[in-house]
Amino acid sequence: MEYIIEMLNITKEFPGIVANDDITLQLKKGEIHALLGENGAGKSTLMSVLFGMYQPEKGVIKKNGQEVKINDPNDANALGIGMVHQHFKLVHNFTVLQNIILGVETTKNGILKMGEAREKIIALSEKYGLMVDPEAKVEDITVGMQQRVEILKMLYRDNEILIFDEPTAVLTPQEIEELMKIMKGLAAEGKSILFITHKLNEIKAVADRCTVLRKGKYIGTIDVASTSKEEMSEMMVGRKVDLTVQKKPIEPGNVVLEVKNMTVKSKHHSKNAVNNVSFQVRKGEIVCIAGIDGNGQSELVYGLTGLLQVESGEIFINGQNITKESIRKRNLDGLSHIPEDRHKDGLILDYNLTENLILKNYFKPGFQKGSFINFKKSREYAEKLIQQFDIRSGQGTKTMVRSMSGGNQQKAIIARELDLDPEILIAVQPTRGLDVGAIEYIHKQLIEKRDEGKAVLLVSLELDEVMNVSDRILVIYEGELVADVDPKEITMNELGLYMAGSKRNEVTA
């Protein structure tokens, strides 16, 4: 029997949208099979059907040639199918051990038997190189470690078919390399892996075959080794995509954002998250803050945007001191912010698209009627942005933002923030979890702002993005700026050394 899992002619519909339109996917035993497609192409939906979270309207699923019915995730688990979701499903105030055994606890006379579980978990983590402390609380460990907990959950349940939904969206370059090693190790042990992604480098690095979806339809299945990245991206987007960033030399003008000796306390421990940092961003330049996740870049941005109080130091926009100003006042002074966590700080998920697009404008005269919001005007404004930024959703302006794909949620935030025509745009991980077509689009938008003479502060963990998009790179390490370098004069490896703290140069403010 050649295929361990076959999904044949699967169709799944939601209001206003056919998410999967007659899709067939066949997984061989022991292979890593990538599922590639743009945001909203139907990849997560297809995997959620396999995991029993959705029931398809048409089509059958076979395991080892036998037709099976998967009504819910418990059925999937019983068939040996496990899934690591894009947004992890962990209980934050439980330990690693408690999270792994949740739902499959061993009890004796009604009492939890933790000893055997702990031994099995330690054995699994040693076998697959997934070192995690079983006693650590999930809320205290890094995102990369949380993902390992999710992988251990699948292994603990003896799953043999492992689904990874965008597993690298939240990881640092080093963690991504680790994960790739782990995946190869799992496949070598005979596990079969389905790997949802839109990062072509990763498919090249680990996958044997790749199935491409576009707008809910099946485009084809290819052999990864013999297909170029350009060919894959064209299958995925339906047109040629420019994988390099085109931009003209910069002509920086006056200083727009100036930060002097800024210190921000850490939320988690007594150390300062940002320590005495000074830098400037001028008109017409993109300055990128590069670093490994967790080195203070989040707190730096929270301090600039007003989400966290600054302990000491000053922040100026166009010479005006905004250190003590409210978030709204900062926005009105010309600061726009694309936040790193789009669900927590970027959108109100249970509001519709119109309401999310006017969040920073609704109190302005054009959006008021008497002392109420003028919804007709607001809808027209939202429709303009939906067209302009190609935001795709099932029911247009009325769509609940929660139901949109991650990439389209991101486009909505970018549309809202760029339309404010900011003096300084702070973009944090603006392409996190996006496909090549959307990334190309967002990079163009950032460069367009820069060429209009705006100042852009980009915070990114993606080294390719850092090197290609920025005009100047500031490296942050343990809350301090350790380098101020020109991307044209530095190699990826050198940048990596600065990021790991093993090299520093004097930063000129």
| DSSP states of 26-60 | EEETT-EEEEE--TTSSHHHHHHHHTTSS--SEEE
* pLDDT band at residue 507 using 50, 70 and 90 as cut-offs: low
Q: Is the pLDDT of residue 479 over 70?
A: yes
Q: Is the pLDDT of residue 142 over 80?
A: no
E strands, 375-479, where?
424-428, 455-460, 472-477
Is residue 134 in a domain? Answer: yes
pLDDT, residue 131, reads 82
* pLDDT band at residue 458 using 50, 70 and 90 as cut-offs: very high
At 305-341, the pLDDT tens digits run 999 999 999 999 999 999 999 999 999 999 999 998 8
Mean of the per-residue pLDDT values of the chain: 88
| pTM beyond cutoff 0.75 | no
Answer yes or no: do 392 and 435 share one domain.
no
- For residues 155-180, average pLDDT: 82
pLDDT, residue 160, reads 93
Q: Is the pLDDT of residue 114 over 90?
A: no
Query: How far is it, in rounded angstroms, from Cα 143 to Cα 294?
Result: 10
Q: Which amino acid is at 375?
A: F
Answer yes or no: do 84 and 188 share one domain.
yes
Which tokens belong to 132? 């995690």
Answer yes or no: do 456 and 478 share one domain.
yes
Answer yes or no: do 409 and 465 share one domain.
no
Answer yes or no: do 326 and 455 share one domain.
yes
- CATH number of the domain that 312 lies in? 3.40.50.300
The owner of tokens 């999710």 is: 150
The owner of tokens 């080093």 is: 174
Q: Assign 313 to helix, strand or coil.
A: strand
* pLDDT band at residue 394 using 50, 70 and 90 as cut-offs: confident
Q: Is the pLDDT of residue 436 over 60?
A: yes
> Where is average pLDDT lowest: 94-108, 166-180, 407-421?
166-180
Is residue 229 in a domain? Answer: yes
**Total count of domains within the chain:** 3
Q: Which whole-number Å values give the CA distances from 326 to 84, 319, 338, 355, 491, in the listed order?
A: 39, 17, 17, 21, 40
Answer yes or no: do 114 and 222 share one domain.
yes
Provide the CA 363 distance to its chain's centre, in angstroms.
31
Q: Is the pLDDT of residue 509 over 50?
A: no
Answer yes or no: do 201 and 85 share one domain.
yes
Q: Which whole-number Å values give the CA distances from 378 to 345, 357, 442, in the listed order?
A: 21, 8, 24
pLDDT > 90: percent of the chain: 51
Give the residue numbers spanning the domain of 393.
Answer: 344-421
Query: How far is it, in rounded angstroms, from Cα 473 to Cα 458?
Result: 9
pLDDT, residue 505, reads 67
* pLDDT band at residue 506 using 50, 70 and 90 as cut-offs: low
> Where is average pLDDT lowest: 70-79, 128-137, 206-215?
128-137
Query: How far is it, in rounded angstroms, from Cα 159 to Cα 71?
Result: 17
Query: How far is it, in rounded angstroms, from Cα 66 to Cα 59?
Result: 14
Answer yes or no: do 185 and 138 share one domain.
yes
